[in-house]
């Protein structure tokens, strides 16, 4: 008499629920550390402004207002470092869910599960889902817009059409670089419609472009002004060789290793991508003919967007690795489809190697925090607590750059007399107006201020800075007073000066 083994089928909701729980856990772990850095503090400052000043502040900065408006609604009950960061955590969690759904519809539930798992554990996705900036929201809306564009090109439902318009407008009002999504999505939709010979569907798609254009029209002149006149001097053009590290950093994070181990790590990352994404994708196309069009769609989504972003960065100074965060969704989908097509034992090996590759990056993220385009830590909250305890009557503060005061003021209750260079931040003016420091400008600013104070605190961030590259402000204060010993505050330059005794 034979023995029949009955395999109990797992409920279909278990895989996405488990991946979502894992994604949430890795995004919440040590969410309080490090504390706010100046960009996060500035975001919270803008979100707490009255609406007219919020709009003028974003217009005079680098990014559109949607993220700040949503953050404003999020912090209506109040704010803390952890609570404010829960908003991008939510955006990151929703993106993992959307990637699962895309993979499920384009390939299979198993491929969707693998894709969602890769995105859930990607250190770069985790890092920007823990930061009070617009990047997690942009990844969410960009991914949603591609998904809705694909769905509409496959079925042309009016709800999908309206949803795509809303998602695209949301992305455009989140970051100006979202404009680059439009040519990529148009190319993909035109290809999908043409291969189905659905010529009549071109008209409603073009009408959708018109509605997006009308919706974006109020912000377009501001975006143009920001792009042309607001040039952050710390952002440079891309170099062709940077493409070699871009993909490993996107997929596996930043391990922050010395040169030789970093090179070895990058080679291992590229081999993993070649084996899982390229070879696995070819196996998927061979074994599942119905997956060929979705694979081409995901591949073109990744390659066209990468080429557009990197090509533009070669020509203009916009290169930052975080600007390529939108590539994570198609990369995860390709990796998920490729993993699903591998033989059973190979899947476990692929995941084990993936975990080995991301391990150093996760350690760096949680305990070291050497992330591109970020300081390791800026101890604004600790500095504010120290100032509260040590400020004396008559002390003065000199803050450089002036916009740094927006983060300090989140935590500092005391309001001592202060000045800033080039000026205190004003939302009606923004960060991009002023002149670099010269000995004459510093003398004119500090001489009358110093006459009123016996002690002056100099608080600087983002050093070296383009406002005082010659370090004239600390040089003037070194000549004016005696330095007083105070603790170090990582990420910040803080000095206390006691006026020289008159002779």
Backbone phi, psi, residue 471, to 5°: 55, 40
Distance (Å, whole) CA 486 – CA 495: 7
- DSSP state, 4? P
Q: Which residues contact 262 (CB under 8 A, 6 or more apart)?
A: 255
- Position 156 confidence tier, pLDDT thresholds 50, 70, 90: confident
Using one digit for the tens of pLDDT, what is the confidence trace for 362-408? 999 999 998 887 878 899 999 999 999 999 999 999 999 998 999 99
Percent of residues, the chain, with pLDDT higher than 70: 97
Give 464's pLDDT tier (boundaries 50, 70, 90). Answer: low
3 state DSSP class of 332: helix
The pLDDT of residue 433: 74
Is the pLDDT confidence value at 432 over 70? Answer: no
Pick from 216, 225, 132: nearest CA to 173: 216
CB contact burial 345-355 (16+ within 10 A = b; e otherwise): ebbeebbebbe
For residue 215, the model assigns a pLDDT of: 98
Alpha-carbon gap, residue 276 to 108, rounded angstroms:
17
Residue 116, classed as helix, strand or coil, is: helix
Q: Is 496 helix (H, G, I), strand (E, B) or coil?
A: strand
Beta bridge partners of 396: 417, 456
Mean pLDDT of 130-158: 96
| pLDDT of the residue at 151 | 96
Assess whether the previous peptide bond of 383 is cis (omega < 30° from 0).
Answer: no
pLDDT band at 421 (very low <50, low <70, confident <90, very high): very high
- What pLDDT was estimated at residue 428? 77
Question: Where are any strands of DSSP class E within 428-502?
Answer: 455-461, 481-484, 492-499
pLDDT at 3 exceeding the cut of 70: no
Residue 503 has pLDDT above 80, yes or no: no
Residue 127 has pLDDT above 70, yes or no: yes
The answer to whether residue 8 scores a pLDDT higher than 70 is no
pLDDT value of position 429: 78
Q: Which residue has the tokens 């440079």?
A: 236
* pLDDT tens string 185-217: 999 999 999 999 999 999 999 999 999 999 999
- Give the per-residue pLDDT at 2: 56
Model pTM greater than 0.85? yes
In this predicted structure, the answer to whether residue 255 has a pLDDT above a threshold of 90 is yes
For residues 219-241, give the mean pLDDT: 87
From 51-60, 372-381, 453-462, the region with the lowest mean pLDDT: 372-381
C-alpha 152/C-alpha 150 separation (Å) is 5
What are the φ/ψ torsions at residue 493 (nearest 5 degrees)? Answer: -110, 110
Q: Give the mean model confidence (pLDDT) for residues 15-25.
A: 97
Instruction: Please give the torsion angle defined by the CA atoms of residues 364, 370, 375 and 376, in that order, rounded to the nearest 10 degrees.
Output: 50
Angle ∠(147,151,152) on CA atoms, nearest 5: 115
Count CB neighbours of 411 within 10 A. Answer: 18
CA distances from 472 to 89, 152, 396, 398, 428 (A): 41, 59, 18, 13, 27
**Mean pLDDT rounded to a whole number for the chain:** 94
Whether 295 contacts 324, CB under 8 Å: no
| 417-445 exposure pattern, b = at least 16 Cβ within 10 A, e = fewer | ebbbbbeebebeebbeebeebeeebbeeb
Tell me the per-residue pLDDT of 448-457, one tens digit each, with 9 for 90 and over.
999 999 999 9
143-153 pLDDT, tens per residue? 999 999 999 99
For the segment 330-339, the average pLDDT, to the nearest whole number, is 98
Higher local confidence (pLDDT), 129 or 433: 129
């Amino acid at each position: 008499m034979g023995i029949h083994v009955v395999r109990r089928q797992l409920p279909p909701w278990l895989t996405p629920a488990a991946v979502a729980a894992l994604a949430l856990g890795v995004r919440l772990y040590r969410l309080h550390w490090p504390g706010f850095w100046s960009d996060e503090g500035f975001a919270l400052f803008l979100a707490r402004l009255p609406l007219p000043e919020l709009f003028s502040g974003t217009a005079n900065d680098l990014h559109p207002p949607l993220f700040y408006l949503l953050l404003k609604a999020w912090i209506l009950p109040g704010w803390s470092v952890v609570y404010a960061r829960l908003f991008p955590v939510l955006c990151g969690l929703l993106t993992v869910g959307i990637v699962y759904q895309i993979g499920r519809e384009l390939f299979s539930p198993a491929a969707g599960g693998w894709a969602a798992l890769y995105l859930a554990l990607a250190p770069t996705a985790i890092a920007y889902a823990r930061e009070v900036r617009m990047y997690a929201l942009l990844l969410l809306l960009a991914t949603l817009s591609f998904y809705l564009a694909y769905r509409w090109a496959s079925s042309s439902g009016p709800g999908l059409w309206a949803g795509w318009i809303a998602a695209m407008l949301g992305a455009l009002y989140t970051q100006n670089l979202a404009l680059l999504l439009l040519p990529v999505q148009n190319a993909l939709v035109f290809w999908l419609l043409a291969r189905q010979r659905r010529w009549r569907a071109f008209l409603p798609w073009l009408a959708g472009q018109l509605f997006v254009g009308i919706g974006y029209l109020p912000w377009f002149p501001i975006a143009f002004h920001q792009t042309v006149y607001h040039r952050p001097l710390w952002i440079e053009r891309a170099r062709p060789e940077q493409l070699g590290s871009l993909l490993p950093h996107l997929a596996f994070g930043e391990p922050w290793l010395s040169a030789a181990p970093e090179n070895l790590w990058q080679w291992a990352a590229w081999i993993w991508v070649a084996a899982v994404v390229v070879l696995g994708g070819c196996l998927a196309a061979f074994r599942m003919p119905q997956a060929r069009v979705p694979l081409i769609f995901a591949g073109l989504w990744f390659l066209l967007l990468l080429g557009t972003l990197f090509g533009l960065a070669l020509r203009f100074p916009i290169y930052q690795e975080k600007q390529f965060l939108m590539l994570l969704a198609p990369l995860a989908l390709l990796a998920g489809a490729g993993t699903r097509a591998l033989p059973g034992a190979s899947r476990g090996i692929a995941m084990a190697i993936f975990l080995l590759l991301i391990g150093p990056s996760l350690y760096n993220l949680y305990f070291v925090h050497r992330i591109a385009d970020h300081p390791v830590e800026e101890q604004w909250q600790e500095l504010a607590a120290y100032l509260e305890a040590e400020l004396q009557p008559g002390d003065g503060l000199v803050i450089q750059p002036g916009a740094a005061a927006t983060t300090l003021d989140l935590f500092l209750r005391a309001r001592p007399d202060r000045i800033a260079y080039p000026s205190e931040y004003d939302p009606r003016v923004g960060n991009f107006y002023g002149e670099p420091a010269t000995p004459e400008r510093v003398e004119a600013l500090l001489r009358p201020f110093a006459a009123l104070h016996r002690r002056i605190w100099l608080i600087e961030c983002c050093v070296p800075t383009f406002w005082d590259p010659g370090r004239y402000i600390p040089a003037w204060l070194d000549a004016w007073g005696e330095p007083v010993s105070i603790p170090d505050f990582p990420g910040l330059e803080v000095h206390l000066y006691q006026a020289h005794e008159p002779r």
